[in-house]
Amino acid sequence: MTEQCVILLGGLGTRLGALTKDTPKPLLKVGDVPFVEVLIAEARRRGFRKFLLLAGYRAEVVENYITGTDVPGRFDCTVDISLEETPLGTGGALVNALPLLDESFLLVNGDTWFDFNWLDLVATARQNGAAFGMGLRLVQSPDRYETIALDGTRVAGVRPRGAGLTEALINGGVYYVRRDVIEGLGIPSSLEGDLLPRLVAEGRVTGVAYDGFFIDIGIPETFTAAQTSVPARRRRPAVFLDRDGVLNVDTGYVHAAEDFTWIEGAREAIKLFNDLGYYVFLVTNQAGVARGYYEEEAIHVLHAFVQAELREIGAELDDWRYCPFHPEGTVERYRGSHAWRKPEPGMILDLMANWPVDTAHSFLIGDNPTDIAAAKAAGIAGHLFPGGDLLAFSRAILATSAAEPQS
């Protein structure tokens, strides 16, 4: 499983003038947070728990930011920093960091945000046995860029700039990389100039085209535009999913992996929402804890299993909430009513308070009237799943012009 995200921070940012005199470009604020924090948040919500920052220019500012704002604590992750004393190029920076690299990792540019399901790129590259995977963008009049030729999902060639094409795929700056391909690079070196041509010639590069939002903060015009476009893009609709009876067959108080059977189309439905840019949240009553059938820790263990199963196909639950309380519980500490227990809306409201959710376009899928009541109380649409294929049910919801609550 690929859990490491490596972020390139080494550029000088000279085109931004005085803005980058004392601050590395990726640490400039966009909206109210440093741009690199947008990237960390996007990677973290997709399950990447280990971060490696490749820092060069004003590396001490990067170190102060990580320790001074407690990034590991706020994002529940680990953060390592690899320092470049002199500019080493994109390839050389990775060679310099070899002892800190996992067997495979996600690599992103620190001054661009290409918003698509990064897990899909990882899963596709792994499924194809690729050593290197590229997230690609289709652009009009691409003469400013080198362009990519695909044969299926295999990158067949890299065309030079100025080829006179009306439209073509270009490198979007998000990569899946296997550590072993870095070991033969020199210092200094370039991924684009030194590594990529060799791997393409060997047929070892997968490319996947995505049409997500893209911004490069490297020039004054785009940096200014990012102050509004990036916060707006981070505000997304969300789908809230019940668990038992929606994601898995409800055989009664499911709490162990061996008893967990996916509903038909459930994993694929989650991936569909991931690919479309929705936040995907799990909200589940877990009265089995209050009734003494299992410990609270069992919920966390099962959740880790669910996430691992999802990541196999390039999917992920962004966050989750559960309520272990019940008014008739036999375990005293969990006995009683609680604002998080559906039909109360507490779990949904807490997620909304911690994530930039577009409430008007969000909805819940549940299999019980209490789920629908919780959605209504939270001010979002609720859809009652009758069983069957969750992917087909989800597509039917998305096909409607508006997701109205059910009564």
70 found inside a domain: yes
254 and 154 assigned to the same domain: no
CA distance 115 to 256: 34
Identify the active-site residue in 111, 115, 120, 244. 244
204 and 244 assigned to the same domain: no
CB-CB contact of 315 with 306 (8 Å) = no
Q: Catalytic annotation on 242?
A: yes
104 and 204 assigned to the same domain: yes
The two tokens of residue 184 are 């033969």
Other beta carbons less than 10 A from residue 263's beta carbon? 23
- Sheet holding 319-323: strands in order across? 319-323, 279-285, 238-241, 363-366, 381-384
Among 193, 212, 234, the domain-final residue is 234
Measured in degrees and rounded to the nearest 5, phi and psi for residue 404 equal -90, 140
Instruction: Tell me 236's DSSP state.
Output: B
CB-CB contact of 95 with 67 (8 Å) = no
Amino acid type, 333: R
CATH (domain of 374): 3.40.50.1000
Question: Considering its fold, how many domains does the chain have in total?
Answer: 2
230 and 251 assigned to the same domain: no
- Domain limits at 381? 238-399
The DSSP H or E segment spanning 237 is none
Q: Catalytic annotation on 143?
A: no
210 and 247 assigned to the same domain: no
225 and 245 assigned to the same domain: no
User: pTM (2 decimals)?
Assistant: 0.94
Partners of 244 in the beta sheet? 248
138 and 223 assigned to the same domain: yes
pLDDT, averaged across the chain: 94
CA distance 396 to 101: 43
Q: Which of 159, 178, 176, 177 is nearest to 167 (CA)?
A: 159
Identify the active-site residue in 111, 242, 318, 367. 242
Q: Is 244 helix (H, G, I), strand (E, B) or coil?
A: strand
Q: pLDDT tens string for the chain (407 positions)?
A: 899 999 999 777 678 888 888 888 999 999 999 999 999 999 999 999 999 999 987 888 999 999 999 999 999 999 999 999 888 999 999 999 999 999 999 999 999 999 999 999 999 999 999 999 999 999 998 888 889 999 999 999 999 888 889 999 999 999 999 999 999 899 999 999 999 999 999 999 999 999 999 999 989 999 999 999 999 999 999 999 999 999 999 999 999 999 999 999 999 999 999 999 999 999 999 999 999 999 999 999 999 999 999 999 999 999 999 999 999 999 999 999 999 999 999 999 999 999 999 999 999 999 999 999 999 999 999 999 999 999 999 999 999 855 444 43
Among 210, 234, 258, the domain-final residue is 234
CA distance 9 to 401: 42
Q: What's the pLDDT tens digit per position in 278-303?
A: 999 999 999 999 999 999 999 999 99
